[in-house]
Amino acid sequence: MRPTSYLDGLFIGRDCHTIGDNSAVICDALVGKASQVHLYAYKQAWFLCYRFRKTLNRACIISSQETAQFWMDAAAMVTLLKGSFPWLSISRKLHILMIHAPDFLDAFGSVWLYWEQGLEGWHGRYGQHAARYPGATSLERAAACMRAMALAREAGPDGLTR
Amino acid sequence: MGTWQEWARAQLLASPLSAAACLPAVQCRQAVQASAAGVATTPTGLGDPCYDRLKRERRNERAAAPPASPLTPISLPFRQAGFENQLAAPGLPLPAIPLATPGHAPFTEAARPYSDASAPMRVSSGVGSAQIRTINRVHGGGCTTGSSSAVAAHMAGECGAATTLTLLPGHGRTALTAPAPAAAQQPRPIDPDRRLPLAPGVGASPPPSNLATEPPQVPDCQQFLESLLKGKYDAQRDEAVLEDIANASFLRGDRPEIRLRHKNGRVRVYSRQLSPRKALVKVSQANKRKAAARRLVGDGCGVAARLQRGGTPPSGGPERLSVSEQVGLVAALSMSRVGFNRWRLASGGARSGLASLPELRAARREMYSLPGKQVIVTRSGAHLASLTAAIQERVTALCDADLFVERPVRDALAVPNEAGTAAAFVAHPGSPPSTEQDMQVTLGLDKGEDPATVKIVATIINQPHPNSPFNTMMVGVCPCGNDTDEELASMLGTLLPQVSALLRDGVLVRGVRRLVRLMPGCDYAAQCNVVEQNGATATQRCLRSQRAWWPSKQQASLDAIYGTLQYVTGGRHLPEATHFTDRMVIAGGTPAVGEPGTPEQHSSVVRSPLLAVNSRQIGTIPLDTTQGINHRFLRLAIEMMMVSRSATEGAADGRQAAAAFSLELVKLHQEKV
């Protein structure tokens, strides 16, 4: 047995939008295999998701009207899902979407500008350079990496992006 | 044939039979060959319907035309060598013989330029005559056999010269005479296009003399154009020729479509289509094509174009890096000291401007003494000694470089509640009033890589490109096997006092102290691990109580009791969200509900928060959120199908059908990627 990535590793990162872009294919595949009530609610949920997905993933300051629409769409989608599919549990992503994202968007005007892509980037950078740092244990290598990164800040705000 | 001619000649003079008997008889080569082979054939070239039609037309023209001036028949003035003693056939009325113009003496055999086109053809001069005359086919003058009008002109010029030794002058064609006896022994070449005219003087008046002597008038382009504009050409009759002329004119340009009409009436249309030779090319060819496109288009790419636009290159000139910057660059690039020294020596040593190794060591020791650069190592991991000092260094550098960016906050954080009054916010640390200028810092931690390590990263939002990894700040690295609550508490045990100090002291921005607005980010914050539990209304109770993706009645009942659905039934701004935060700050904890280890106990546990901040400032990762929701939709599709099938065919069949449908979904999406 070997661990297998979900959907063969597809739809990771920006490719995750492919699923939403092709939601009609999923709905068409469900015709005749699911009840009409479920299928209708499923299509409606996809439609609402499509609307707020564009707002969520846009790197600009969102207007107040669009923010209000985002909140209504997210709440309507979660309500629809929870009301139409009793077995559905509120996952943490849905919780983020319904509780935190609208408030954050309302206060700061954007979600994309505040997300922490740098943190994700540090995973790869650390895995690439950790072997170069001296240390017998992972803790020692982590300490060496921390010292090096502390010094790296002296390169200047635009020294490494020049 | 000879018998019939003798019989017909004995008939009444000027009768059709005698006239027909006077016609010259021609035997084709095929006939001769066929007769030699003993096969009875019919000579070709006789009875051609086209020729008959043209002959009738000429006859009608002659009848309608005024009588021509009488011509005195003369004997054939054979002047060429070998023909002096040959006379016309007696008893056969000879036509007026148009002589060749003096300036166009007949070519000899050796001087014949077009041997095939001017091949001599022998025609018998009369019945019973042994004399054989040689004529040449007439070409040139713009006459072509493919055109009806050209054929008519050709035949008109040929009318009076069929039995002569005359050649139309002026077009490089000439007559060739050959000794008749020698030619008589040769097989007769028969031109299939050749028309055999009637003998002149038989049943028709002699043709005008100028038909054979004068070259056909070829109009020049201006005349042709004028005639065409005047409508002298019949559009219907000359349509084919006019279309050929138009095609010949238009073919020189770039036309998307070329229309050609063949002689047989078939029309072919050639269209110009541009298609790449290779749709997919490799990198090298792609680069060449891009370079060619840039040259052709001149799209303004490249250094020269950028300079023309007034932009500045990334590095306008040699910049001198300070020693501390060189230390930082070496550390950021993970460059070894030996490698740096070799690079320095290769660049000219001290003249390169790079610091020597002793200078680097001294600068590094000095930098390590700074509070923002110090690192402490605990049992949980390596952490910065002072988060406040590190952020202050960075902010100072941004201000010095004039890269500090103000990020105003909307008043949405102070919106009125459902009662219409201003919300009574508790003064949370890290949540200054929106009316004050603040310093926005996100703090997130995430586990990744193999072996797993938890990275704690702080980001200063008040700068351009805050999400660039080089603009972020690594606060701690903690090797972590299982992300349990105890390990998480150990990691944050070193960090949280520093965060509290940062929120308390603030940061100096251009000499003015500002409060820090802290935004917990990433999944850990969203799971309420930093602000700890959300009370009984929390969705994610703790790390141990991960939700089972499989549908569960027990889980559904817990959701019905503690789920977040109650939020969407309330007002616009979720009063519970601020309420629980206030409550967490005040209250220390609530006794758990249910037996230990049960889902009820996990779902209802309430503990005091490790770090209490305004929950409305919890940042989210949009891409991860989108990805998680999309995947949840996929699972929901499978669950729908399984529920529907299980209701009708049983649970086992439902699971099998769901497994097959999941594979179908994977296949569908792989086709779309």
pLDDT in tens, B162-199: 333 333 333 333 333 334 444 444 444 444 444 433 33
pLDDT exceeds 80 at position B359: yes
Return the minimum-mean-pLDDT range out of A47-56, B490-499, B560-569: B560-569
- Is it the case that residue B404 has pLDDT exceeding 60? yes
Report the range out of A30-39, B306-315, B402-411, B447-456 with the highest average pLDDT: A30-39
| Weakest-pLDDT range from B55-59, B408-412, B629-633 | B408-412
Task: Identify the pLDDT of residue A44.
Answer: 93
- Which value does ipTM take for this structure? 0.83
Closest residue in chain A to residue B537, using alpha carbons only: A95
Q: How far apart are the first and last CA of chain B?
A: 88
Of B215, B114, B107, B216, nearest to B165 by C-alpha is B107
Average confidence (pLDDT) over B373-399: 91
Residue contact B476–A146, C-beta within 8 A: yes
CB A90 to CB B368 under 8 A?
Answer: no
Which pLDDT score is estimated for B198? 37
State the helix-helix crossing angle for B651-672 and B622-649, rounded to 10 degrees: 140
What does the pLDDT read at residue B425? 47
- pLDDT top residue among B143 and A69: A69
Determine phi and psi for B197, rounding to 5 degrees: -80, 165
Please, which residues bridge with residue B447 across strands? Answer: B454
Q: Which of A12, A33, A117 sits opposite B644 (nearest CB)?
A: A33
Nearest CA in chain B to A33: B641
Residue of A93, A126, A138 best to disrupt the B interface, most CBs of B under 10 A? A93
The pLDDT of residue A39: 92
Q: Does A154 contact B328 at a Cβ distance shorter than 8 Å?
A: yes
- Give chain B's largest Cα–Cα span: 149
**Residue B612 zone, left/alpha/beta (φ > 0; ψ -120 to 50; rest):** beta
Contacts of B321 (CB under 8 A, 6+ apart): A159, B329, B353, B354
Does pLDDT of B573 surpass 70? no
CB atoms within 10 A of CB B555: 19
CB contacts, 8 Å: B315 with chain A: 162
Residues from chain A contacting residue B626 (CB–CB below 8 Å): 16-17, 20, 53, 56-57
Cα angle: A51, vertex A54, A57; to 5 degrees:
145
CA distance to partner chain B, nearest, from residue A12 (Å): 8
Most confident of B378-382, B547-551, B619-623: B378-382
Contact B627, A115 (CB under 8 A): no
Mutate which of A5, A80, A151 to disrupt the B interface (most B C-beta within 10 Å)?
A: A151
Which of B22-36, B101-115, B392-406 has the weakest average pLDDT? B101-115
Report in angstroms the alpha-carbon separations of B231 from B94, B238, B248. Answer: 42, 11, 21
Residue B673 has a pLDDT of 57
In chain B, the residue whose alpha carbon lies closest to the alpha carbon of A63 is B410
Q: What are phi and psi of B237, to 5 degrees?
A: -75, -40
> Using the beta-carbon criterion (under 8 Å), do A71 and B563 form an inter-chain contact?
no
Mean pLDDT of B147-152: 40
List chain A residues with pLDDT less than 50: 1-10
Residues of B in contact with A52 (CB under 8 A): none
Mutate to test the interface with A, among B625, B667, B672 (most CBs of A within 10 A): B625
> Looking at residue A125, what is its pLDDT?
81
Over residues B94-110, the mean pLDDT reads 38
How far is the C-alpha of B230 from the C-alpha of A58, rounded, in Å?
A: 70
A1–chain B nearest CA distance, Å = 18
Average pLDDT, chain B: 64
Nearest-Cα distance to chain A for B480, in Å, is 10
pLDDT digits (tens, 9 = 90+) for B604-645: 544 445 565 666 677 777 877 788 888 888 888 888 888 888
CB of A101 within 8 Å of a chain B CB? The answer is yes
Residues B173-207 as b or e (16 or more Cβ within 10 Å = b): bbbbbbebeebeeeebebeeebbbbbbbbbebebb
Which of B538 and A34 is assigned the larger pLDDT? A34
Q: Residue B113: is the preceding peptide bond cis (ω within 30°)?
A: no
Q: Which residue of A has its CA nearest to B525?
A: A96
Contact yes or no for B188/B32 (Cβ under 8 A) = yes
* pLDDT for the residue numbered B384: 92
Contact yes or no for A116 and B547 at CB 8 A: no
Q: Tell whether the model's pLDDT for residue B392 goes beyond 90.
A: yes
Domain ranges of chain B: 1-218, 221-271, 370-620, 626-672
> SS3 for B134-146, per residue?
EEECCCCCCCCCC
Q: How far apart are CA A62 and CA A105, in angstroms?
A: 8
What pLDDT was estimated at residue B537? 35
Residue B483: pLDDT band (50, 70, 90) is low
Q: Which of residues 20-59 of A touch B (CB under 8 A)?
A: 20-23, 25-26, 29-30, 33-35, 38-39, 42, 45-46, 49, 53, 56-57
Kind plus residue range of the DSSP H or E element containing B503:
helix B485-505
Give just the sign of the alpha carbon dihedral B573, B576, B581, B582: positive
CB B623 within 8 A of CB A115: yes
- Give the C-alpha distances (Å, rounded to integers) separating B88 from B133, B321, B359: 9, 116, 125
Domain regions of chain A by residue span? 6-114, 117-155
CB atoms within 10 A of CB B211: 18
Amino acid letter for position B41: T
Contact between chains at A116 and B626 (C-beta distance less than 8 A): no
Would the CB atoms of B634 and A19 count as touching at under 8 Å?
Answer: yes
Residue B399 has pLDDT above 70, yes or no: yes
* pLDDT cut 90: percent of chain B above it: 4
Pick the closest to residue B467 from A45, A143, A59 (CA basis).
A59
Q: How many CA atoms lie within 13 A of B444 on its CB side?
A: 30
Long-range contacts formed by B72-81: CB under 8 A, 24+ apart: B72/B96, B76/B133, B76/B165, B78/B165, B80/B106, B80/B177
Tell me the DSSP string of A45-85: HHHHHHHHHHHHT--SPPPHHHHHHHHHHHHHHHHHHHHH-
pLDDT at B402: 85
Strands in B155-230 per DSSP E: none
**Cβ contacts (< 8 Å) between B640 and chain A: which residues?**
30, 33-35, 38-39, 42, 85
A96, closest residue in chain B (CA to CA):
B526
With an 8 Å Cβ cutoff, are B469 and A121 in contact? yes
Determine whether the interchain pair A104/B616 forms a contact, defined as Cβ–Cβ distance below 8 Å. Answer: yes
Instruction: In whole angstroms, give the CA distance from residue B359 to residue B259.
Output: 82
Nearest residue, CB atoms, A115 vs list B328, B467, B556? B467
- pLDDT for residue B44: 45
Closest CA of chain B from A130, distance in Å: 10
Mean pLDDT confidence for B220-244: 80
Question: Which of B330, B581, B627, B648 should be substituted to probe chain A, the one whose Cβ sees the most A Cβ atoms within 10 Å?
Answer: B627
Closest CA of chain A from B561, distance in Å: 12
Averaged pLDDT, B80-98: 39
Furthest CA-CA distance within chain A: 63
Contact indicator for B603, B636 with CB cutoff of 8 Å: no
- Please indicate if any CB of chain A lies within 8 Å of the CB of B432: no
pLDDT at B65: 59
Q: Which chain A residue lies closest to B412 (C-alpha atoms)? A: A107
Residue B563 gets the label, from left (phi > 0), alpha (psi -120 to 50) or beta, of beta
Structure tokens at A122: 């540090």
Confirm or reject contact between A112 and chain B (CB < 8 A): yes
Contacts of B475 (CB under 8 A, 6+ apart): B383, B384, B387, B390, B443, B456, B457, B458, B495
The residues pairing with A16 across neighbouring beta strands, listed in sequence order, are none
Rounded (10°) CA dihedral B663, B666, B671, B673: -170
Inform me whether the pLDDT recorded for B356 exceeds 50.
yes
B196: closest CA among B35, B38, B54, B402? B54
The reply to whether B664 touches chain A by the CB within 8 Å rule is yes
Kindly state whether B663 is in contact with chain A, defined as any CB-CB distance less than 8 angstroms: no
- DSSP letter assigned to residue A99: I
Length of chain B: 673
Of B208, B178, B163, B175, whose CA–CA distance to B70 is shortest? B208
Interface check for B405 against chain A (CB to CB < 8 A): the answer is no
Can you give the pTM of this predicted structure? 0.52
